[in-house]
Structure 1
Amino acid sequence: MRRTGPTTVTPVKDTGPPGRGLLYGLGRACARHPWRVIGVWLLVLLAAVAADRAWGGSYADDFDLSGTPSRTGSDLLNAHGAAGSRGVAAQIVVRSDAGPLSAHRDTLTAAGQRLTALPDVISVAAPLDTAGAVTDDGRTGYYTVRFRENPAQFEKSYVGRVDAAVRALRADDVTVEYGGPLGQLARPAAADRASEAIGIGTAVLVLLLGFGSVAAAGFPLLTAVIGLLAGLSVLGLLASRYAFAAASPTLATMMGLGVGLDYSLFLVTRHRKLLHSAEGPVEATARTVATSGRAVLVAALTVTAALAGLFASGVDFIGMLGVAAGTTVLVGALAALTLTPALLGLAGRRIDRWHVRTPVDEPDDSGDIWHRWAATVRRRPWTFLLLGLLGLGVLGAPAAALRLGHVDAGASPVSYTERRAYDLVADGFGPGADGPLTVVVTLDKDHRTTGAQRDALARALRDALTATPGVAAATPPKATEDGALLVSTVTPDTGPQARATTALVHRLEDDVLPGVLSEEGATGYLTGTTAAQQDFRDILADRLPVVVGVVVAAAFVLLLAVFRSPLVALKAAVLNLLSITASFGVVVAVFQWGWGSRLFGIDETVPVESYVPMMMFAIVFGLSMDYEIFLLSRVRETWLETRDNHRSVAVGLAGTARVITCAALIMTSVFLAFLLSTSVVIKMLALGLGVSVVLDATVVRLLLVPAAMYLLDEANWWIPRWLDRLLPRLDPEGSRGRAESTGAAVPAGRVTR
């Protein structure tokens, strides 16, 4: 059948190197002067690490919720001088097993005085002097300490000063535990070294078994580690100026180590292939950077663009997590594009001199296992397409039950003081005492001046609050000194992360408070940590579709510009969304439903942390595009040379299957190693990202992509003329440069065969 189009194309032979552009020159320069490049990287690394140690900042969970009810209520409390509203509050929980706390009155008073004298402390409310701060049996109570700044951001040494202030209590056989942000400060330093060691050790094993060469294994590892250390140091310096979440360095490590290994491995693999045909090692390195280096650059920019899409959430806390991960991704890509070529140039043709097995290159013929697999998929494309979609659908089904929330201290290890403080409060005061809600009511001018009306409203409000299902207790609303506000504390029946507590917050905000206050010209707000977490969750749930739309649209346009094919770009976006949904389903089943959660050190079901789906989506979508670009760039390169779609898919799959499989195994091991983290949120990200990489490298790349491309046939490469003229030129493999250097045409639209 004859297909008409604007251009008749002559197949392009691989008769020479691609166009000698910037990347070609960069690769050649790095390979010719390897010691200079290595020296510069070592100097940069030492300077960055030293600067980070001298001026680097700290990480803490602190987010701005301007315009939300919880923030409005907090601002009103501060503006009208409500008692105990200044600064940031933290609890110090005390427990006496030998008798009531009143037997330790003098020691408790002295400890309170020492706490008051600490730097940055505004006030201390002692348990025996504060109504409701001691349990009915008198054995458990708590200090409420208010700090000028969030204590979670203080230096670790501050915990030692608090320990000294309460030392006499512990000597008097009183248990003392720190809750809230003070408990966060007292957490042990993140033990990520074991996870990093497992990831690196697995990478060594996979690379040696997959490629046989010690150098081929060592160069990606060395490049990735140097790039990671430099990226983390840069992140530390950024943290001195900007607020980053506590999970930022761990997330940056996961991303930097994973993509750093992938990018360098992709370059090393292509270099070893080109060594057979290039004039020498320097030329092979230059061609490697000019071809595969373009794919690495486009892949890194795609990941970074996906992470930048997190700013579409409108929450800086989330956007800065994307910046943290993007920092190590970009530094890792820079290391891969400069340090790896320098190491390749230094090794020359001796890259396979040390080996543990016969070194393996990309296949040259159609008899290898990957060509045979491609032929198998070609014979039954519909079967493999439906099997792949069915598998992703089964794994993704639990995602329909996704429940966002906040993973509180109750899910932390019992070795953490914040977990022990949480349990003491829950056991003594009830589970809701770990997440009280503060009701703030603004009064109109009449209510500010008429005491009788204000008192009547306060009684009506208390009656409504105590009668609300899910409320364990509510304090009598009290007016501020200026009479502008009424303030009450509501204790829920359930803990902060329970579904019932979420329902209570919405019930109070949507029904109870408007029902009592609207006719009186007053307005009510819920504030406090639990209310703020709920506002945060609602914001992210509302804006997740926006982030998804922005990231998918950006990736679609980028792939469209790179591969000049609307169908290829659309297929990539759809398949990536399916694999992400499947990874969401696994996270819901393990953490929310508890299927196998004990294997990961979690002894209770928890909601999915509100920002995890958004972070997972951006990261997974970006990483999926990495493999998509690596695979499709080789498919398109062969297509431009042969105009045979079936051969292009087979050659592209065979040429990249080994490197993608090894890269996926490495990245999966890096991610899953972080299941050893004590943070439940990090465990969620680790499992979700690890599962997504496995699915992407197997079900998507080995089943769905080749099956779909076989079914679409030459329609894969169709693009309207007007769109081809409109799009910028981005060439991941230098194919256009090679085509132009031989005088062949690069078409727009369908081709004549």
Structure 2
Amino acid sequence: MHSAAPVGSATGLARAGAFCARHPKWVIAVWLVLLVAALGGRKAVDATFSDQISLPGTQSNTGAGLLQSADPMAGQPNGKVVLHVGSGAVSDHEQAVGATIADLKTLPHVVSASNPVTSADGRTAVITVIFDVQLKTLGHGYTGRLDEATEPARADGVQVAYGGDLDQVVRTPPDETLSESIGIGAAVLILLIAFGSVAAALVPVGCALVGVGVGIGVVGMIAGLVTFGTSAPTLAIMIGLGVGIDYAVFLTTRFRQDLIDSGRPWEAATRATGSAGHAVLVAAITVAVALLSLYACGLTFIGKLGFAGSVAVAVAASAALTLVPAVLALTGRHIDRLRVRRPVAETSGGHDSWHRYAMLISRRPWPFLVVGAGLLVLIAVPLFSMRLGHVADGADPKGSKTRTAYDWIADGSGQGFGPGANGTFTVVIDARHATTSTGRITDDVDHALQGTQGIASFTPVAATSDKNVLITTVTPTTGPQTAATSDLFSTLTGHTLPDALAGTGAKGYVTGTTAGQLDFRDTVKERLPIIIGIVLVAAFLLLMVVFRSLLIPLKAVALNLLTTGASYGALVAVFQWGWGDELLGLPEPVPIESYVPMMMFAIVFGLSMDYEIFLLSRISAAWKSSHDNTKAVGTGLSITGRVISSAALIMTVVFLAFTATPTVVVKMLALGLAISVILDATIVRLVLVPALMVLMGEANWWLPRRLDRHLPHLRA
């Protein structure tokens, strides 16, 4: 049994909890009004989501600037309309194709539509359509206009699909309703088993859903002012739902334990907010800081994704600290209505299974430590073969318009242009300060490209009218997401062009969509250590202040790194090695999307600290009352083991539900987060942390007195 602290000793959070518990109907009404207002505001705002990225100073960005200055049309957004016939040639349908090109030119925001470029056998042709706006702003509804414009070709027996940057228009926006429903349903089932009653299962989920609704509404309204990446709403829902349920579960568990210990409902809600609420607040701050640290990488695209996630976390924590105590107070002892088994909260007593397990670890910490750490290291092994890149349209579902266009172009049997045609490079040579004639430079570049392995073909090097810029398009022998194409980019920028232009005064750059993606990958790889350093230092300092210890935060940082490494390894095995591509609906193995490891590190580190803080807060409280380290570890583990396991299982299922989305990047994030959460909450929090803390003994709680005097006082 746990003695209840008097309500009179309430902290600020406890006073807030007391207010919410005494005025539950008003608090619930306010949240419902916020929900309606947020969702209504999201619909009213003209939100913009785009994956457009600018990388000043990079090869691709400098080359694109030169290209646009020489030919303004070259820098305009464009897409590909791909035509294909099963037999004969596209040219056999000249009149219908001509009518299609004419209709494309009349579409809103279309600047021009080129004559078709035909494959060697004539069965596939590509029309390049240039627009005067970024394609993402056209919206998915624009697909209907494209279909109308290409109807003459289809009516004449020509098949039509859309590729290139038109994928931003024609790719069906992901419907996350199924993922959300699966996640919520699984969460209710897990809570029903864990808590033993229908009411206790529905309260955390219901409060979390309100928080998620408000959070996604706020993100949508902010998107009217700030352009988020296309995956931002899904990321906000996924994180908000996961942490929202977790936070509500921690508070509900503490509330029910207080009721079991004979507390009154409003007092129990107050004490739950004052005790577990501090852990929720510290955990939420940790997650938000980790997500916001993504801005330190200098890439606003990634920083904004972190910002969207931090908004969802902030709203989820606010709902947990205000809405949950209000609902709990209103529900009162009816929390155990419609029982399916005997209600259990934090612990069933001094001899339950969690106490016995805690004592087992206390007696044999070394075997648990070695086996647990060894398992995480084994899972992390694939990490060392991780290959970052961009997931191309070739990973889209078979039968989709984008995948069909990609396959028609990539067909190397003579019907298409070869796999490299989906990821061409544009070589731009700045000859404004050349000391050699452009003719000589042209010959040197032509000769260098001919001698470079991995090039299927390249167009003749052509000079602009003022002779200041030379341009050629290089087609690799391999597709855009292969390692060979990445190697070719490095060869062109590091050897081929510098060697060919040495001593001429001219400079060469490689640009285009694929080059931009590879530059983005290299930039992310270069700046990942900055994010890791910031998150590690912030987490260390926060835990040191909260738990007044040096070893506890050091242990937490080391174990979180181990968890992250294991989740990276699992991601490589599934996506890059292809161990689970069929289960996830992927047609082939794909590289790890370049920004996924950075996003995962911030999110995983933040979420793993949730369980660290909830476990350590109980261990710390037991240590302060007994000053027996082994007993404190056992008590903390036995009290939190059930709730951490249940919360982690819920969050894992919620994340796994989002692997059903067709967006490969979301699949990666969802699976990576699910694996990291389950590994962290089982192997790390329930095995490695207690084993290490038993072995370190009273040294866990050592902090130099001089440092202790200068640190602010926080508690979890």
Could you say which TM-score interval applies, normalised by the shorter chain?
over 0.9
The number of residue pairs the alignment matches comes to 711
CA–CA distance in structure 2, aligned partners of residues 444 and 669 of structure 1? 59
**Residue 7 of structure 1 aligns with which residue?**
none
**Residue 571 of structure 1 aligns with which residue?**
555
- Within 5 Å, give how 1:354-503 maps onto structure 2: 354-363=338-347, 365-427=349-411, 428-445=416-433, 453-503=437-487
| Structure 1 position 466, deviation (Å) | 2.0
2:656 to 672, 696, 699: 672
Deviation string 1:403-424 (CA, Å, 9 cap, x unpaired) is 1111100011113211111101
Deviation string 1:429-457 (CA, Å, 9 cap, x unpaired) is 0000000000000013456xx8xx21121
Q: What is the one-letter code of the residue matched to 1:115? A: L
Matched-pair contact (CA < 8 Å) for 1:28–1:285:
yes
Deviation string 1:574-620 (CA, Å, 9 cap, x unpaired) is 01110111111111111111123222222311111101111111111
**Residue 107 of structure 1 aligns with which residue?**
96
Deviation string 1:350-408 (CA, Å, 9 cap, x unpaired) is 22133221111222632011111111111111111111111011101111111111110
Uncovered stretches (5+) of structure 1, i.e. residues with no partner:
1-11, 128-132, 733-753
| Structure 1 position 484, deviation (Å) | 1.1
Deviation string 1:443-482 (CA, Å, 9 cap, x unpaired) is 13456xx8xx211211221121122000011111111122
- Secondary structure of the residue that 2:503 maps to in structure 1? helix
**Residue 597 of structure 2 aligns with which residue?**
613
| Structure 1 position 15, deviation (Å) | 5.6
CA–CA distance in structure 2, aligned partners of residues 119 and 227 of structure 1? 40
Please, which moves more after superposition, 73-82 or 385-394?
73-82
Q: What is the one-letter code of the residue matched to 2:428? A: V
CA–CA distance in structure 1, aligned partners of residues 602 and 536 of structure 2? 9
Please, which moves more after superposition, 482-491 or 175-184?
175-184
- Secondary structure of the residue that 2:94 maps to in structure 1? helix
CA–CA distance in structure 2, aligned partners of residues 253 and 477 of structure 1? 49
| Structure 1 position 227, deviation (Å) | 0.7
- Secondary structure of the residue that 1:572 maps to in structure 2? helix
1:53 to 32, 39, 43: 43
| Structure 1 position 21, deviation (Å) | 2.6
Q: What is the one-letter code of the residue matched to 1:535? A: D
Does the C-alpha gap of structure 1 residues 32 and 13 become closer, same or farther in structure 2, counting only changes over 3 Å?
closer
**Residue 25 of structure 1 aligns with which residue?**
15
| Structure 1 position 17, deviation (Å) | 4.2
- Secondary structure of the residue that 1:599 maps to in structure 2? coil
1:271 to 255, 259, 263: 255
- Within 5 Å, give how 1:225-244 maps onto structure 2: 225-244=209-228
Q: What is the one-letter code of the residue matched to 1:429? A: F
CA–CA distance in structure 1, aligned partners of residues 404 and 678 of structure 2? 37
| Structure 1 position 286, deviation (Å) | 1.1
- Within 5 Å, give how 1:293-372 maps onto structure 2: 293-363=277-347, 365-372=349-356
- Within 5 Å, give how 1:85-104 maps onto structure 2: 85-104=74-93
TM-score scaled by structure 1? Answer: 0.92
1:70 to 51, 60, 77: 60
Please, which moves more after superposition, 190-199 or 278-287?
278-287
Matched-pair contact (CA < 8 Å) for 2:425–2:514:
yes
Matched-pair contact (CA < 8 Å) for 2:48–2:226:
no
Q: What is the one-letter code of the residue matched to 1:39? A: A
**Residue 123 of structure 1 aligns with which residue?**
112
CA–CA distance in structure 1, aligned partners of residues 338 and 366 of structure 2? 45
| Structure 1 position 552, deviation (Å) | 0.9
Matched-pair contact (CA < 8 Å) for 1:184–1:418:
no
Matched-pair contact (CA < 8 Å) for 2:584–2:659:
yes
CA–CA distance in structure 2, aligned partners of residues 219 and 333 of structure 1? 15
CA–CA distance in structure 2, aligned partners of residues 112 and 15 of structure 1? 77
| Structure 1 position 276, deviation (Å) | 4.0
CA–CA distance in structure 1, aligned partners of residues 596 and 432 of structure 2? 41
CA–CA distance in structure 2, aligned partners of residues 15 and 142 of structure 1? 73
Does the C-alpha gap of structure 1 residues 110 and 35 become closer, same or farther in structure 2, counting only changes over 3 Å?
same
Matched-pair contact (CA < 8 Å) for 1:18–1:287:
no
- Secondary structure of the residue that 1:163 maps to in structure 2? helix
Matched-pair contact (CA < 8 Å) for 2:140–2:173:
no
**Residue 43 of structure 1 aligns with which residue?**
33
Deviation string 1:116-141 (CA, Å, 9 cap, x unpaired) is 122211221120xxxxx211111211
Matched-pair contact (CA < 8 Å) for 1:307–1:618:
yes
Deviation string 1:683-734 (CA, Å, 9 cap, x unpaired) is 21121111111111111111100000001111111101121122221111xx
| Structure 1 position 644, deviation (Å) | 1.4
| Structure 1 position 555, deviation (Å) | 0.8
| Structure 1 position 106, deviation (Å) | 2.0
CA–CA distance in structure 2, aligned partners of residues 544 and 724 of structure 1? 32
**Residue 737 of structure 1 aligns with which residue?**
none
Deviation string 1:173-196 (CA, Å, 9 cap, x unpaired) is 111111122122111221311111
| Structure 1 position 56, deviation (Å) | 4.2
2:156 to 172, 180, 183: 172
CA–CA distance in structure 2, aligned partners of residues 240 and 190 of structure 1? 20
Deviation string 1:5-38 (CA, Å, 9 cap, x unpaired) is xxxxxxx996634742321111011111111111
Does the C-alpha gap of structure 1 residues 385 and 18 become closer, same or farther in structure 2, counting only changes over 3 Å?
farther
Q: What is the one-letter code of the residue matched to 1:163? A: D
Please, which moves more after superposition, 278-287 or 549-558?
278-287
Does the C-alpha gap of structure 1 residues 331 and 170 become closer, same or farther in structure 2, counting only changes over 3 Å?
same
- Secondary structure of the residue that 1:660 maps to in structure 2? helix
Q: What is the one-letter code of the residue matched to 2:44? A: A
Deviation string 1:82-135 (CA, Å, 9 cap, x unpaired) is 6x41311111111122422222222222221221122211221120xxxxx211
**Residue 745 of structure 1 aligns with which residue?**
none
Deviation string 1:470-528 (CA, Å, 9 cap, x unpaired) is 00111111111222100000000000011000000000100010001121100000000
Does the C-alpha gap of structure 1 residues 146 and 433 become closer, same or farther in structure 2, counting only changes over 3 Å?
same
CA–CA distance in structure 1, aligned partners of residues 214 and 224 of structure 2? 16
- Secondary structure of the residue that 1:50 maps to in structure 2? helix
Uncovered stretches (5+) of structure 2, i.e. residues with no partner:
none
**Residue 152 of structure 1 aligns with which residue?**
136
Matched-pair contact (CA < 8 Å) for 1:459–1:476:
no
CA–CA distance in structure 1, aligned partners of residues 363 and 263 of structure 2? 40
Does the C-alpha gap of structure 1 residues 107 and 174 become closer, same or farther in structure 2, counting only changes over 3 Å?
same
| Structure 1 position 650, deviation (Å) | 1.0
Does the C-alpha gap of structure 1 residues 446 and 377 become closer, same or farther in structure 2, counting only changes over 3 Å?
closer
Q: What is the one-letter code of the residue matched to 1:373? A: Y
Matched-pair contact (CA < 8 Å) for 1:30–1:37:
yes
**Residue 509 of structure 2 aligns with which residue?**
525
| Structure 1 position 69, deviation (Å) | 0.8
Matched-pair contact (CA < 8 Å) for 1:150–1:181:
no
CA–CA distance in structure 1, aligned partners of residues 18 and 409 of structure 2? 65
- Secondary structure of the residue that 1:137 maps to in structure 2? coil
